Structure formats: structure tokens, C-alpha cells
């Protein structure tokens, strides 16, 4: 792992930096490169122009590692209302949640209950619910939650991380469920014993896993979603899809709000299904530092936001 990425991921774990950033107007200004604001209303306003460009939407309220049951219940309540907000605005939108935001550290069963309630609400509002993937300590439990949720919410999706060695086996394990999988590279600080230490290794594995998912999509056994801003990699994957006879309607591309906006619009024009992930909320520091760590260009992007 390169030094800059290591420093940024270490910073994400610092409570001192977290407290400073959350009270710094300068740092908050920089976050606008990646999120439209801290409030749900900010996210919904930003979504209208994105939807008008032909893109779908994924919303997530930032936050993780809930330590009180009441807080997990508040998150559940927020999302139940948010699904209604999406429907009221006729937005082509879905919701993505972190299991620890719904109390996974407190109780697996209670977390699952919250997810089932949200999945039912997603169905009732013609939407869908996604499970974000957190660090490797939660990988197995998140997959178990997804398997259980899929029984009652067929459209449920899960994010899997290409930098983990185990992900190929996890995809094979999920394929009998006809899963919806968002493949991402991974944004946590993981040891070399379980994850690729170099970007080149992650990129190769991402390509191989994407091809495996597309092969399953050809037989309608998977809906692959490629969560990456690496447009060269997207083009490689698209060439494989063409070679295997997989139509562009059988997979999606997801990118973050504010990043490669022009590329997102170009992909829509070329017939890809593109969804933009919009984050909001006050608990943004860890998420923001991981976004900077994902690719060096993000640091320059945020710096320009400070002076722009």
C-alpha cells in the first residue's frame, strides 16, 4: 500500500482529526466535492438534476459503528421516511446502508430485523435496498445478512470488495441466489494476509471478478454492478461483455456524486445504465478520508474545491 493512502486511512481512524474536521468550515467546504450537503434535503435537491440527465440514484446517510439500540432504531426510522421522500419526488432511486449503522455490533438479529423492515419498505415504494460492505471484520456477517434479507427482498444488493482474496469464493457462494452485486475495489486498511497490497493486484482481480459476474449475467444468474471511477477498466469490462454477448442492459455502472461527472453523462449517452451515489449526513469524516485514499486524484480534486 502506498504511503499516501496509508496516511489518509490512518487519519480516518483519528478521533482528534474527526472532531477538528467536523467543526471546521474550511474542511466542510472541501467535502462539497463529494457530497451536496449534510442534510437529506440537500441530497434530494441535488438528485433532481442528476435524474434529469438519465442517471439513477443511490442514497446513503453517512454513519457507522452504532453503539446504542436507540440510535439504530433512529436510523431505521430515518430511512423508512426517506423511501417515502424518494417516491414523493418520483426519483429513480435506491438506498444503501451500512450494517453497523443498524446495530450489527450490538445484535445480528436486531440488525436483520431492521433490514427486513427497510427491504419491505423498499418493495412498497418500488425501490431497493443495498448493503454496503465495511472492513473485513464484518465481511462474513454482512454476507450472512444479505443471504437472509434476499429471502424477503429479492431486489436487495450487496457490495463486495475486489481487494479481498476471499471475494471470488463469496461471489460463487452467492450466485445460486441470483444476486445483485456492486463490485468495488475497497477503501479500508487491510493486512496483506487477506487483501492485495498493491493497486495492480486489486485491478487484475477486479477485472477477473467482473468477467465472472458478466458470465453469470449472460445466464440471468446475477446483476453485476461496477462501482468504479476507473473508466479504462470499465471499457475493458465492456469489451468482455460484448465478446460474450452480454447486453449493456444486463449490468450497471455506479459512481460517486461529483466525481467524473462528464464520464457519467457520456456513459449514459452510450447506453450504459449509470447510477450516482449521493451521500449526506454529519458523520462524514471517516467516509471522506477513505474517498481521498481511494485514488490520489481525489486529493487534488478536494484541494481545488477549497479554493474554487
The vertex-48 CA angle with 47 and 54, nearest 5°, equals 90
Query: How far, in Å, CA of 29 to CA of 22, rounded?
Result: 11
- What domains can you pick out in the chain, each with its CATH number? 36-283 (3.20.20.220)
Q: Is 280 helix (H, G, I), strand (E, B) or coil?
A: strand
Tell which residue, 279, 225, 227, has the closest CA to residue 60.
Answer: 279
The full DSSP string for the chain is: --HHHHHHHHHHT-HHHHHHHHT-HHHHHHHTTT-S-SSHHHHHHHHHHHHHTT-EEEEEE------SHHHHHHHHHHHHHHHHHHHHTT--EEEEE-GGGGTTTT-HHHHHHHHHHHHHHHHHTT--EEEPP--GGGHHHHHHHHHHHHTT-TT-EEEEETTBTTHHHHHHHHGGG--EEEEE---S---TTTB-SSHHHHHHHHHHHHHHHHHHHHTTS-EEEEE---HHHHHHHHHHHHHTT--GGG-EEEEETTSSHHHHHHHHHTT-EEEEEEEESS--HHHHHHHHHH-THHHHHHHHHHH-
> CB neighbours of 230 closer than 8 A, spacing ≥ 6?
185, 203
Q: For position 27, what pLDDT does the model report?
A: 55
Residue 303 has a pLDDT of 44
CA torsion sign, 82 to 84 to 90 to 92?
A: positive
What pLDDT is stored for residue 64 in this prediction?
A: 85
Cα angle 31, 32, 34; round to 5: 75
pLDDT at 307: 40
Instruction: Flag residues of the chain having pLDDT under 50.
Output: 3, 26, 300-308
Which cell is 232 given? 479504462
User: What distance in Å separates the CA atoms of residue 155 and residue 136, rounded to the nearest whole number?
Assistant: 24
Please state the pTM of the whole predicted model. 0.86
* pLDDT tens for each residue of 47-87: 999 999 999 999 999 988 899 999 999 999 999 999 999 99
* Strand, coil or helix: 150: helix
Of the CA atoms within 13 Å of residue 31, those in its CB half-sphere come to 26
Neighbours of 71 (CB within 10 A): 15
Are 11 and 302 in contact by the 8 Å Cβ rule? The answer is no
Confidence (pLDDT) at 63: 87
Handedness of CA 178, 183, 189, 195 (dihedral sign): positive
- Taken in order 31, 35, 36, 37, the sign of the CA dihedral is negative
Tell me the C-alpha distance between 258 and 300, whole Å.
Answer: 13
User: Which residues are identified as catalytic?
Assistant: 132, 182
Amino acid at each position: 500500500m502506498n504511503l499516501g493512502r496509508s496516511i489518509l486511512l490512518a487519519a480516518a481512524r483519528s478521533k482528534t482529526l474527526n472532531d477538528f474536521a467536523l467543526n471546521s468550515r474550511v474542511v466542510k467546504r472541501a467535502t462539497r466535492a463529494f457530497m451536496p450537503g449534510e442534510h437529506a434535503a440537500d441530497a434530494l435537491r441535488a438528485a433532481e438534476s442528476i435524474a434529469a440527465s438519465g442517471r439513477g440514484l443511490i442514497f446513503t446517510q453517512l454513519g457507522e459503528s452504532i453503539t446504542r439500540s436507540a440510535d439504530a432504531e433512529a436510523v431505521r426510522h430515518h430511512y423508512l421516511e426517506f423511501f417515502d421522500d424518494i417516491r414523493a419526488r418520483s426519483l429513480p432511486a435506491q438506498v444503501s446502508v451500512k450494517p453497523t449503522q443498524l446495530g450489527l455490533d450490538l445484535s445480528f438479529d436486531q440488525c436483520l430485523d431492521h433490514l427486513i423492515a427497510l427491504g419491505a419498505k423498499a418493495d412498497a415504494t418500488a425501490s431497493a435496498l443495498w448493503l454496503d460492505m465495511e472492513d473485513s471484520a464484518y465481511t462474513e456477517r454482512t454476507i450472512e445478512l444479505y443471504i437472509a434479507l434476499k429471502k424477503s427482498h429479492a431486489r436487495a444488493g450487496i457490495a463486495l470488495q475486489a481487494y479481498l482474496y476471499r471475494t471470488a469464493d463469496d461471489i460463487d457462494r452467492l450466485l445460486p441466489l441470483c444476486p445483485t452485486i456492486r463490485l468495488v475495489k475497497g477503501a479500508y486498511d487491510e493486512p496483506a494476509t487477506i487483501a492485495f497490497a498493491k493497486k495492480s493486484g486489486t485491478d487484475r482481480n477486479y477485472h477477473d471478478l467482473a468477467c465472472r459476474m458478466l458470465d453469470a449475467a449472460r445466464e440471468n444468474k446475477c446483476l453485476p454492478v461496477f462501482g468504479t471511477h476507473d473508466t479504462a477498466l470499465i471499457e475493458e469490462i465492456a469489451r468482455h461483455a460484448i465478446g460474450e454477448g452480454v447486453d449493456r442492459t444486463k449490468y450497471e455502472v455506479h459512481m460517486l456524486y461529483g466525481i467524473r461527472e462528464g464520464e457519467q453523462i457520456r456513459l449514459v449517452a452510450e447506453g450504459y445504465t449509470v447510477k450516482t451515489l449521493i451521500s449526506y449526513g454529519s458523520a462524514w469524516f471517516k467516509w471522506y478520508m477513505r474517498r481521498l485514499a481511494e485514488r490520489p486524484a481525489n486529493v487534488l480534486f478536494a484541494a481545488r474545491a477549497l479554493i474554487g
